[in-house]
Amino acid sequence: MTSILAARRSPVAPKNGALAALAPHELVAPVLRAVLADAGLEATDVGEVVLSNALGPGGNVARVAALAAGLPERVAGLTIDRQCAGGLDAVLLADAMIRAGMHDVVIAGGVESCSRRPLRYRTNGDGRAPEFYDQAPFTPWPERDPKMVTAAARLAETLQISRDAQDAWAIASHRAATAAGPCRRIVALGDCDRDPFTRALAPKVAARAPVIEGSITAANMAVAADGAGLLVVVSDRFAAGRGAQIIGGRTLGADAERPGLAPLPAIRAVLQEAAVRTDDLAVAAIMEAFAVQAIGCQQGAELPREIVNPFGGALARGHPIGASGAILAVDLIAALDRRPGIGLAAIAAAGGIGSALLLASGTRAFAFARH
């Protein structure tokens, strides 16, 4: 089996905020050095770096970050894009690489600088001037490719989840994130050593938040943000009985018009394959791009509310798209330090994609290793 020896992340700051001056590799490199030190490994031990990046400059951000962090030149770096799910998928890819015998140590995660994202223009073959676009197509059918906020508003109507319920989830997310304090495994970047967006969100403030569409407001959807998250994934030879074990992971496609519920098939598949029930879980980290999406996944997967996002989620910090899945995994590792057992991380992505990761720590990890 493979294990995660260490997990760290940067602060998450809203777009054009505290981290706006940093390029993607500058967000990653300090976190990479910290997570490697936490794992007690040398730079020469690393076989590969896999990073998710959805909005960045192109090229190979993972390679640039690996070089900036002082890793050997032989570490090629691999950058992937699966939008919001990419950071979690980087961990699953690292797991697969190690199981295949390609490497013993892979650093996996994601990074996004919404502040520094390039402007994108679509060229035309008929001589028309290039046209600016914000959202890339996620299906070949424009009529089945809604904007994310539109899909969330429709989901709220379909599931009959009220604005009050969404606001209550957002308020709880901020409250949990505030209470989590120093256990968040944050690596300071300059003067920024915390998530500056996290606050005591009062019900009256949430109620006055601008409406974006339907029941979706500025309070119950996550803000665009900058940040990075990384995990050290290792073989049994390097783990030597340490860390949280990866006991399952799946990425599956689902209904492109309801991307918020896309994690449900992946969650069900990973639990079934590991013979784990929802009441076996000690903690679950579920993406909060929108409160309605988190509620829909929590209810649809029949997860006990009290185990979901004990440190808060993206509603309380922001959503650095390519990094969010990795940050969920970092949160999960931190939560398992307090509640040892089996933990689940799950995230939705545009186009109807869902990813899920299952970890075990403490005595449960030992039990899975023996199994």
Residues noted as catalytic: 84, 319
Q: Provide the 10 A C-beta neighbour count for residue 211.
A: 12
Q: Provide the 10 A C-beta neighbour count for residue 196.
A: 17
CA-to-CA distance for 246 and 290, rounded, in angstroms? 27
Run of H or E residues at 171: helix 163-180
b (16+ CB within 10 A) / e for 76-93: ebbbbbbbbbbbbbbbbb
- What tokens does 15 get? 């777009």
| Contact status, residue 94 vs residue 82, Cβ threshold 8 Å | no
Q: Exposed, middle or buried, 275 (CB in 10 Å: 0-12/13-18/19+)? A: exposed
- What's the length of the chain? 371
Query: How do 342-349 and 281-286 pair as beta strands?
Result: parallel
- What tokens does 16 get? 């054009």
- What tokens does 209 get? 């938040």
CA-to-CA distance for 35 and 228, rounded, in angstroms? 12
Q: What is the DSSP string of 269-283?
A: HHHHHTT--GGGEEE
Among the residues of 282-350, which ranges form H helices?
291-300, 321-338
